[in-house]
C-alpha cells in the first residue's frame, strides 16, 4: 500500500487538524488547460478520453504538474452509468450530451440493466488503478458519480435541460415509476462507487447537479433520499482507512441541515451560500467544500485574491474546509488565474490553522 505524502484533503474532510486549507477544483482536468486540449484533440472524442484508461490517467494528472493541488479527481463523466445502461450517449458539439434512447415509459425503466462496473464500466476502475499507480501517493484520488436524481434527469429528458419538463411530468404524474427508476440508479451508483473504491480512490463525491430545481419536499423525496441510500450501500473503509464521501447539490443552499444529516462527511457548496453561515448551520456534522464563484477566475488577480481570502475568512479558524469553486471551472479561464487562486489559498490559509486570523 502506497503511503500518502499529502493527506491534508482527507484530514480536512474528517475535520482533523491541518496546517493549511486544502484546495482542489471541480473540472481541474479540463479544457482550460492547453495540455488537455492537445490530448483531447488527438483522442478525437470526449468519450474516448473517458474510456481509454491511459488517456484518462494522463489528463487526470496534468493539473498536478502545474499546480500545488491537494487532490486529484478521476477524469470521467457523470453519464457513464446511463451510457452503460444502453441509452446511447452522444456528445453533440455545442449542444452537450444527448441520449439516443431516453427513458420515458414503464417498459423503458423495466428494461434498464444495472451495469456491472467491472464489465460495462470496466474502463473506470481500470483508469482508477492506473492513476493510483501513477500518482504514487502524491495526493489522494477522488472518485465520483452523478446522484441518482441527476442521472435520472438526463435519462428522462434525453439531454441537458433548463426546464425539466419531462422528468417533472413523470414526478407529478407517475411518481411510483420515477421511484423505481431512482431505486435502480441508486443500486447502480453504489456498485459503481464501490468498484472505484476497490480500485483505489481515497474519497468519493456525489454530484447532484440538478437537485436545486426541486421543491424542498421533492428534494428530500426524490434526490436526497436516494443519495443517502446510495451511500448506505457503499464501503466506507479500505485497509482500515476511512473513505470520506462528499455530497454536492448545486442550488441546495437552503437544505444544508437535511443534507448534513444524510451520512455524508462533507457538503459541497455553490457560490450562492455564505460559507460562514453554512458552517454555523451544519455545526460539527460535516466538513464544507467550496465555494468561489467560477467566474471570479476572470477577475483581475488582486480581486481574485480578495475573493479567495473572503471565503477563507468567512469559514474561519480550524479544520473542516476544503477550498474549491462553487461549480466547475469554465473552459476559457486563464490557467494563470487558476494558479493565482491556488497560491492565495496556500498563502492566506495557514494562519487560520494556527489559531489566528488571516
Active-site annotation holds for 298 = no
Q: Which is nearer to its own copies, 166 or 236 (CB)?
A: 166
The active-site residue out of 7, 70, 77, 265 is 77
Interface residue with its own copies among 86, 102, 251, 335 (CB under 8 A) is 251
Q: Which is nearer to its own copies, 80 or 249 (CB)?
A: 249
- Beta carbons within 8 Å of 253's beta carbon, 6+ residues apart: 269, 270, 272, 273, 278
Contact between 165 and its own copies by CB under 8 A: the answer reads yes
Interface residue with its own copies among 280, 300, 334, 336 (CB under 8 A) is 300
Q: Which is nearer to its own copies, 234 or 340 (CB)?
A: 340
Cα gap 75→330, rounded to integer Å: 16
Q: Which is nearer to its own copies, 88 or 216 (CB)?
A: 216
- Beta carbons within 8 Å of 208's beta carbon, 6+ residues apart: 146, 147, 149, 150, 223, 227, 247, 248, 249, 250, 252
Interface residue with its own copies among 295, 334, 336, 354 (CB under 8 A) is 295
Contact between 339 and its own copies by CB under 8 A: the answer reads no
Active-site annotation holds for 31 = yes
Interface residue with its own copies among 105, 232, 303, 334 (CB under 8 A) is 303
Contact between 298 and its own copies by CB under 8 A: the answer reads yes
The active-site residue out of 32, 36, 123, 154 is 154
Is the omega angle on the peptide bond into residue 291 within 30 degrees of 0, that is, cis? yes
Task: Extract the C-alpha cell encoding 329.
Answer: 471551472
Interface residue with its own copies among 4, 46, 164, 238 (CB under 8 A) is 164
Contact between 293 and its own copies by CB under 8 A: the answer reads yes
Contact between 271 and its own copies by CB under 8 A: the answer reads yes
User: Which runs of consecutive H residues, i.e. helices, occur in the chain?
Assistant: 8-13, 34-43, 46-51, 53-66, 80-84, 106-111, 123-135, 148-157, 165-173, 175-199, 216-218, 225-232, 256-260, 275-282, 301-315, 335-348
Contact between 215 and its own copies by CB under 8 A: the answer reads yes
CA distances from 303 to 22, 157, 314, 337, 350 (A): 21, 39, 16, 11, 20
Half-sphere exposure of 59 (CA within 13 A, CB side): 30
Radius of gyration of the chain (CA): 19
Contact between 118 and its own copies by CB under 8 A: the answer reads no
Interface residue with its own copies among 100, 111, 254, 334 (CB under 8 A) is 254
In sequence order, what are the beta bridge partners of 143?
204
Q: Roughly what angle, to the nearest 10 degrees, separates helices 148-157 and 165-173?
A: 110
Dihedral angle computed from the Cα positions of residues 270, 73, 323 and 295, in that order, rounded to the nearest 10 degrees: -50
Q: Which is nearer to its own copies, 18 or 340 (CB)?
A: 340
Q: Which is nearer to its own copies, 82 or 211 (CB)?
A: 211
Q: Are the C-beta atoms of 294 and 275 separated by less than 8 Å?
A: no
Task: Extract the C-alpha cell encoding 10.
Answer: 482527507
Helix/strand number for the chain, H first, E second = 16, 11
Q: Which is nearer to its own copies, 11 or 168 (CB)?
A: 168
Active-site annotation holds for 40 = yes
Active-site annotation holds for 154 = yes
The active-site residue out of 15, 20, 27, 132 is 27
Interface residue with its own copies among 141, 142, 177, 296 (CB under 8 A) is 296
Contact between 176 and its own copies by CB under 8 A: the answer reads no
In this structure, the number of other CB atoms found within 10 A of the CB of residue 302 comes to 9
Contact between 334 and its own copies by CB under 8 A: the answer reads no
Interface residue with its own copies among 209, 221, 273, 349 (CB under 8 A) is 273
* Sole window of 12-20, 115-123, 163-171, 233-241 interacting with its own copies (rule: CB under 8 A): 163-171
Residues labelled catalytic = 27, 31, 40, 77, 154
Applying CB under 8 A, the residues found at the interface with its own copies are: 162-165, 168-169, 172-173, 212-219, 251, 253-254, 271-274, 277, 293, 295-296, 298-300, 303-304, 310
Amino acid at each position: 500500500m502506497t503511503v500518502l505524502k499529502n493527506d491534508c484533503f482527507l484530514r480536512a474532510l474528517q475535520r482533523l487538524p491541518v496546517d493549511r486549507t486544502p484546495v482542489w477544483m471541480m473540472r481541474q482536468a479540463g479544457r482550460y488547460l492547453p495540455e488537455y486540449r492537445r490530448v483531447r484533440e488527438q483522442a478525437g472524442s470526449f468519450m474516448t478520453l473517458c474510456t481509454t484508461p491511459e488517456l484518462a490517467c494522463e489528463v487526470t494528472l496534468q493539473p498536478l504538474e502545474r499546480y500545488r493541488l491537494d487532490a486529484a479527481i478521476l477524469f470521467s463523466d457523470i453519464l457513464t452509468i446511463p451510457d452503460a445502461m444502453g441509452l446511447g450517449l452522444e456528445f453533440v458539439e455545442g449542444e452537450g450530451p444527448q441520449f439516443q434512447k431516453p427513458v420515458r415509459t414503464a417498459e423503458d425503466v423495466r428494461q434498464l440493466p444495472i451495469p456491472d462496473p467491472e464489465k460495462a464500466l470496466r474502463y473506470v476502475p481500470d483508469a482508477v488503478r492506473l492513476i493510483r499507480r501513477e500518482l504514487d501517493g502524491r495526493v489522494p484520488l477522488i472518485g465520483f458519480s452523478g446522484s441518482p436524481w441527476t442521472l435520472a434527469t438526463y435519462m428522462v429528458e434525453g439531454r441537458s435541460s433548463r426546464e425539466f419538463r419531462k422528468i417533472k411530468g413523470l414526478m407529478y404524474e407517475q411518481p411510483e415509476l420515477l421511484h423505481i427508476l431512482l431505486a435502480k440508479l441508486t443500486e447502480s451508483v453504489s456498485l459503481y462507487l464501490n468498484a472505484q473504491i476497490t480500485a483505489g480512490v481515497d474519497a468519493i463525491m456525489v454530484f447532484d447537479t440538478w437537485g436545486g430545481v426541486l421543491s424542498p419536499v421533492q428534494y428530500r423525496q426524490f434526490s436526497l433520499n436516494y443519495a443517502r441510500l446510495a451511500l448506505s450501500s457503499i464501503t466506507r473503509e479500505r485497509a482500515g482507512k476511512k473513505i470520506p464521501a462528499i455530497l454536492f447539490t448545486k442550488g441546495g443552499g437552503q437544505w444544508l441541515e437535511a443534507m448534513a444529516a444524510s451520512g455524508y462527511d462533507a457538503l459541497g457548496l455553490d457560490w450562492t451560500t455564505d460559507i460562514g453561515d453554512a458552517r454555523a448551520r451544519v455545526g460539527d456534522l460535516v466538513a464544507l467544500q467550496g465555494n468561489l464563484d467560477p467566474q471570479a477566475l476572470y477577475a483581475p488577480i488582486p480581486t481574485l485574491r480578495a475573493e479567495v481570502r473572503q471565503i477563507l475568512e468567512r469559514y474561519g479558524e480550524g479544520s473542516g474546509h476544503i477550498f474549491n469553486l462553487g461549480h466547475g471551472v469554465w473552459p476559457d479561464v486563464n490557467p494563470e488565474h487558476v494558479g493565482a487562486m491556488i497560491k492565495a489559498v496556500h498563502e492566506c490559509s495557514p494562519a487560520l490553522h494556527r489559531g489566528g486570523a488571516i
